[in-house]
Amino acid sequence: MAVTLKEVAQHAQISIPAASLILNGKGKTYSKDTNERVHEAARTLGYRPNLAARAARSGKFNAVGLLMSDHPCSSRISPQLLQSILETLTARDMHLTVSQVSDEKLTDLKFLPKVLQQHMVDGMLINYTHDFPEQVTELIHESMLPAIWMNTPLASDCVYPDEIHSGQLATQYLLDRGHRKITYIEFDGSEHYSRTDRRVGYETKMQDTGLHANHATFPTYYPKQVNDDPMSYQTHEQMCRWLKSLKKRPTAIVTYSPWEAQAMMYAAALCGISVPKELSIVAIGDDVFSFMGTSITSAVLPLEEMGQSAVSLLLRKIASPARKIRARKLKSTLVEAQTARAV
């Protein structure tokens, strides 16, 4: 068993509660000498407070749980967001317990994650953007476990990027630089709200400017060996064909994510179209993505801010669990890089 407060107190020749107060910085009333003796004892003995005991007594775990899906491409937390959450929590002397739950299991209440089955955190951060089961939401509400949803636009208790704004931001950047023929590109894929909203942002911005909105959807990559040459793929072929087929090629493109941008750059390269000389590309994404060393001009999602907000909203929710917290929408930032320029 590890060093306990009792041993520290004995070593410093003082009562246990006194040692507790002093080590928690509430020992102003104790003599300078005593304070030093206790700290000294703690240091030499290598005392580390037992958080379980503290939590048992105080009723606060000083811990937050993070719930995420284990689906490979959906709702896996991005490193930036995780880091931001950890930093914010650490600053408040709290820690983070992580759990991942497979989509199938979450629908079966038998397989509820431990964080929800057991009482071990003061609140939950939820990053589970797809099909979060109603029942679990209810269960969380019933169990009175304070929770904040990330990356999901709900009526309350959530933080998420303003994706309409992201679309507008990327579009505005190009408009400001004189582009008039701008197309929106996306792969087909999941049903996250960002998918519609980013496109709507693009469309409204174009329409508000009195321009035509166009968008093209391409099939997600899939490997297809054509003539033994793996360099031909349906997606690229389509993109190249598309680039060449247009009577009047757009001067700029906004893409749903860096992946579309990357594919577009590759297709452009294969078609002999120079980026950004002949074609500007602005992506929307977690970070400025680099395609073969070229940084893609991007509307970057406010992940750091989202982590901070999520934590501080959660703490507020923990303080007064009954009160609903107003949904918080955060704005992306445009980061200039090498794939867009003025016409």
Residues that bind a second copy (CB under 8 A): 1-2, 46, 48-56, 59, 61, 63, 70, 72, 76, 79, 82-83, 86-87, 90, 93, 95-100, 113-120, 142-144, 221-225, 228-231, 233, 235-236, 262-263, 266, 269-270, 274-277, 290, 292-295, 338-339
**Member of 4, 214, 220, 295 binding DNA (CB under 7 A):** 4
The owner of tokens 């379980």 is 52
Binding status of residue 93 toward DNA by CB under 7 A: no
**CB 99 to DNA: min, Å:** 20
Which tokens is 58 given?
A: 């105080």
- Are 335 and 297 contacting, i.e. CB atoms less than 8 angstroms apart? yes
**CB 300 to a second copy: min, Å:** 15
How far apart are the two ends of the chain, measured CA to CA in Å?
Answer: 71
The owner of tokens 């917290």 is 325
Binding partner at 90 among DNA, a second copy, none, C-beta below 5 to 8 Å by kind? a second copy
Determine the Cα–Cα distance for residues 205 and 226; give it in Å rounded to an integer: 40
The owner of tokens 């923990």 is 318
Of 57 and 247, CB closest to DNA: 57
Of 55 and 211, CB closest to a second copy: 55
Nearest to 64 by CA among 152, 156, 150, 135: 150
- Are 330 and 194 contacting, i.e. CB atoms less than 8 angstroms apart? no
**CB 103 to a second copy: min, Å:** 13
Q: Which stretch binds DNA (CB under 7 A): 12-20, 148-156, 229-237, 321-329?
A: 12-20
Within 10 angstroms of residue 341's Cβ, the number of other Cβ atoms is 16
User: Helix, strand or coil for residue 218?
Assistant: strand
Binding status of residue 18 toward DNA by CB under 7 A: yes
What is the total count of residues that contact DNA (CB under 7 A)?
30
- DSSP class of residue 2 equals -
The owner of tokens 């090498």 is 338
Binding status of residue 62 toward DNA by CB under 7 A: no
**Nearest-5° Cα angle at 67, 63 to 68:** 145
Binding status of residue 45 toward DNA by CB under 7 A: no
Q: Which stretch binds DNA (CB under 7 A): 8-16, 123-131, 283-291, 301-309?
A: 8-16
- DSSP class of residue 276 equals T
**CB 115 to DNA: min, Å:** 15
Binding partner at 263 among DNA, a second copy, none, C-beta below 5 to 8 Å by kind? a second copy
**CB 163 to a second copy: min, Å:** 24
**CB 24 to DNA: min, Å:** 5
- Are 99 and 121 contacting, i.e. CB atoms less than 8 angstroms apart? no
Within 10 angstroms of residue 275's Cβ, the number of other Cβ atoms is 21
Which tokens is 217 given?
A: 């959807």
Binding status of residue 63 toward DNA by CB under 7 A: no
User: Residues interacting with DNA, by CB under 7 A?
Assistant: 1, 4-6, 13-18, 20-21, 23-24, 26, 29-31, 33-34, 47, 49-50, 53-54, 56-59, 119
